[in-house]
Chain A
Amino acid sequence: KQEVTQIPAALSVPEGENLVLNCSFTDSAIYNLQWFRQDPGKGLTSLLLIQSSQREQTSGRLNASLDKSSGRSTLYIAASQPGDSATYLCAASHTSGTYKYIFGTGTRLKVLA
């Protein structure tokens, strides 16, 4: 059974820092990996989707990489801003069955002004 773990569970950094959020999964037979942002009491906003043939994706100050062999993905946020404060969730879909996404428990990020 696929399990997705995110470390750290919470992170507080001063504005301007570059930071890395980690996501690990137990079954390397994943198809896609997607990173989401969730503001308190809100739904999930898709940030980056790494499809099966890809190893990384970039959008603005965000870069996500995927290493299936080691069972890890990282989300890199450059020059963090207070507006980046949110919970970041990763989700992995399996190569078989219904391709449903399994979510981690998230990293709560607070960027201090």
Chain B
Amino acid sequence: EAEVAQSPRYKITEKSQAVAFWCDPISGHATLYWYRQILGQGPELLVQFQDESVVDDSQLPKDRFSAERLKGVDSTLKIQPAELGDSAMYLCASSPGVGSYGYTFGSGTRLTVV
């Protein structure tokens, strides 16, 4: 069964350092999502890509977060500088497109900022 790949699985970083997460969606999936999930809460959308274009980044803290999907395939989410409040699970999901499709999620990256 096709999977969404994410790495690293866990990341511990010091406050003010830079950190990056990588996601490879299911082959052929045009839409890619990055969600953040704080412990005990539901995931919240950070950014949505359609192919290589950002279609929703309204909840992305743009002063420190950036995301790219240069060739419309894999994607990188970066935080610089990291803050203590960024500690969370970062989840990547993909779907064939928008509309009548569901999401497939990766295993996530657990970020701890110390």
Contact among B44, B101, B106 for A43, CB-based, below 8 A: B106
> Is A44 positioned at the interface, with any CB of B under 8 Å from its CB?
yes
- Check B48 against A42 for contact (C-beta < 8 Å): no
> Is B55 positioned at the interface, with any CB of A under 8 Å from its CB?
yes
Complex: how many Å from CA A34 to CA B103? 8
Shortest A29–chain B CB gap in Å is: 14
Complex: how many Å from CA A98 to CA B106? 21
Complex: how many Å from CA A48 to CA B97? 18
Would A103 and B43 be within 8 Å (CB), given that A42-B107, A43-B91, A43-B107 are in contact?
Answer: yes
Q: Chain A, 66-92, contact with B by CB distance < 8 Å: what is the 0/1 string?
A: 000000000000000000000001010
Contact among A31, A45, A103 for B44, CB-based, below 8 A: A103
Shortest B69–chain A CB gap in Å is: 15
Complex: how many Å from CA A4 to CA B21? 28
- Check B107 against A31 for contact (C-beta < 8 Å): no
* A32 proximity list for chain B (CB < 8 A): 100-102
* A4 proximity list for chain B (CB < 8 A): 42
Would A89 and B42 be within 8 Å (CB), given that A46-B102, A51-B100, A100-B33 are in contact?
Answer: yes
- Check A49 against B98 for contact (C-beta < 8 Å): no
Would A52 and B102 be within 8 Å (CB), given that A42-B107, A100-B48, A100-B56 are in contact?
Answer: no
Which residue of A43, A100, A106 has the most chain B CB atoms within 10 A of its CB atom? Answer: A43
* A43 proximity list for chain B (CB < 8 A): 6, 91, 105-108
Shortest A84–chain B CB gap in Å is: 19
- Check A41 against B110 for contact (C-beta < 8 Å): yes
Shortest B40–chain A CB gap in Å is: 7
CB-based nearest B residue for A47: B102
Complex: how many Å from CA A2 to CA B55? 18
Contact among B35, B44, B98, B104 for A98, CB-based, below 8 A: B98
> Is B45 positioned at the interface, with any CB of A under 8 Å from its CB?
yes
- Check B48 against A98 for contact (C-beta < 8 Å): yes
Contact among A41, A44, A51, A98 for B43, CB-based, below 8 A: A44
